[in-house]
Every structure is written in structure tokens, then in C-alpha cells.
Amino acid sequence: MQGDAPTPDGQVADAVADNWVDTYAPAFARPYLRLSRADRPIGTWLLLIPCWWGLLLAMLDGGDPRWGDLWIAVGCAIGAFVMRGAGCTWNDITDRDFDGQVERTRSRPLPSGQVTVKQAVVWMVIQSLLGLAILLTFNRAAIAMGVLSLLPVTIYPFAKRFTWWPQAFLGLAFNWGALLAWTAHSGSLGWPAVLLYGAGIAWTLFYDTIYAHQDTEDDALIGVKSTARLFGTDTARWMKYFLVATVTLMGLAVIEAALPDASILALVLAIAAPWAMGWHMAWQLRGLDIEDNAKLLQLFWANRDTGLIPLIFLGAALLV
């Protein structure tokens, strides 16, 4: 599968068209920003959204909103950007030999030679230190949760080598923010946050299986495992299971957080959050075509909106 040249000017094949990195960033910074996937912002959204879920759910649980919550929300946004960048850099370091054999990824900075492994490691450390600086502004329990998050982040890039379920490991890493943000607000972990974490993992299995279907042929040739390869033509049925799990677990989390103190209207609005999210996931299923890579990427990108929908209802529940 080797041989194709990288896209012009070092652009990555699946980057967003006319993204700010390729358009406005200084030339010297572009390879590093591409390592961080700054030219593909969907990953930052998918890492950030569970943080905001956890924060709003903690407020709904009876913790009165306070000015510190504004910083938690902003800190999570900054942290999601830099830690997603650090995680992607780590992923590309570990996967650099695989990436060179896959059509969609061979134009990434490491396999295409835009940066060296040493440069990538230094960049990863810089981003990690920035993330640590944000984390240290939270309470001690949240700091401990942040440190624990390094375990699934470290393991994830290797998961595709030993399990057919690497998307589950991605879910463990990408939804940790639900636990962290809840803890940053409340000072300790609670069952609603754990249930919400489970909902996020099911959602990740849903959207990342869609994403992984772009690479099934190349993955089969190089021996990389994924849920997309595991499910094959039975993917739509499995996706329905993940949809139901997402809605059910988020619904239980919302009920656990809202009762017994929330008003009837607040409870109704909060319970509507997972159902509205499930509707958007069902819409994706209706358009799923595992043979159409352009459609697969479009559906994957749509999950930013899928995740934002519950925030609208949870926010409204807090206001009534």
C-alpha cells in the first residue's frame, strides 16, 4: 500500500477542507499542529463534550452553579484541545509504521517525514505539561482523576494489536472527562457520573465504528483489529445496541442526578436529553453505508452535533 506521495504542502488526506492550520498557521508550526489533529477538530469536540455533560449533570445533582464552574468549563475546553493533541501525537508515534501502510493515514506528519520521532516526543511533552497546568487548577480529587486518565490514554494505541474492541478502549479514554468534570464540581465521584461515563463509552463505540469502516481493507492487510472488521455487514445491528445503551445509561444518569430535588419540568427536560441524542444517532443509522467512505466520514463528523444536543436540554433543566 506504500507509494502515494503526501497531499500538497503536507496536508493530511482526511483534514477538513480550508482548515485554519493549512490556511493560516505559520509553515514551521503546521506539521506539529497536524500531529495534534488541529486540522481535524472533531476529536477535540468528542473529548470535550463528555466533560461538559459531567459538569452540567453535577450541577443538576444539587450542587448550585457557581463562578468556579465557568472556569471548569473553560479549563476543560483548553485541556481537551491540548490533551487531545498530546494523545494524538502519542498515537501517531506508536502507529507510525502502520500509518505508512494505510491510504488514509500515510500523509500524516510522521509517516510522511514532516517531523521526526524525537520532535514528536518533545511536542507531546510540551502539550502534556500544558494540560497538567490546567489540571492543577482543579481540586485534589479531580487532579487524581486526571492523573488516572493517563492509563487508558497510554494503552489505547496498542489495543488494536490485541483486541477486536479497540473502540472500547478509546471510549474509556475519551469519556474520562465526564468523571473528571463531575469531580471538579462536586469534590468526589458519584454514581450519575459513572453511568454517564458508560453512556459515553457506548456512544464512542457507535461513532468510532463508523470511522473505522474507512480503513477495513487496509486494516485486514496489515493485521489491525477493529469493531468495524469484527461486525462487518452486521454493523447496523450492533450500532442499534450501542444506541440503546447510550440512551439507557444516560437516562439513568440523569434520573439519578435529578431526583429527588429537581422540579417536574426540570426532570422532563433532563430526561429528554438522552432521547434527543438517540434520535440523532438513529438518523445516522438511516444514512449508514459502510461501503461509502465519504458518507462514513460525514456521519462521523455529525457526532459533534449528537453530543451537543444533550447539553441544550441539561442546560435548560438547570434554568427552570
Q: What is the mean pLDDT of the chain?
A: 92
Residue 225 has pLDDT above 80, yes or no: yes
Q: Where would I find the H helices in 61-165?
A: 67-94, 96-99, 117-135, 140-148, 150-162
> Which is more confident, 198 or 224?
198
Is residue 223 over pLDDT 60? yes
pLDDT confidence of residue 8: 47
pLDDT at 62: 78
pLDDT-wise least confident of 59-68, 232-241, 280-289: 59-68
Hey, is 73 helix, strand or coil?
A: helix
What is the per-residue pLDDT for 199? 98
Looking at 63-67, 112-116, 151-155, 222-226, which range is the least confident one?
63-67
pLDDT at 2 over 50: no
- Read off the pLDDT band of 86 (50, 70, 90): very high
Q: How far apart are CA 308 and CA 280, in angstroms?
A: 11
| Helix (H/G/I), strand (E/B), else coil: 63 | coil
pLDDT score of 63: 64
Closest CA to 7 of 88, 103, 91: 103
Average the pLDDT over 306-314 and give the result: 98
- Return the pLDDT at 19: 87
Longest Cα–Cα distance of the chain, Å, equals 62
Q: How far apart are CA 97 and CA 94, in angstroms?
A: 8
Number of H helices, E strands in the chain: 17, 0
Lowest mean pLDDT segment, chosen from 63-67, 236-240, 266-270, 297-301: 63-67
pLDDT in tens, 53-71: 999 999 999 766 788 999 9
Q: Contact 280/264 with Cβ under 8 angstroms?
A: no
Domains along the sequence of the chain with CATH:
17-319 (1.10.357.140)
C-beta atoms surrounding 167 within 10 Å? 27
pLDDT score of 133 more than 60: yes
pLDDT in tens, 140-181: 999 999 999 999 999 999 999 999 999 999 999 999 999 999
Q: Is the pLDDT of residue 209 over 90?
A: yes
Rounded percentage of the chain residues whose pLDDT exceeds 70: 96
- Ranking 2-6, 31-35, 94-98, 137-141 by mean pLDDT, the lowest is 2-6
- The predicted model gives 255-269 an average pLDDT of 93
Distance CA 147, CA 145 (A): 5
**Range with the poorest average pLDDT among 118-127, 158-167, 216-225, 238-247:** 216-225
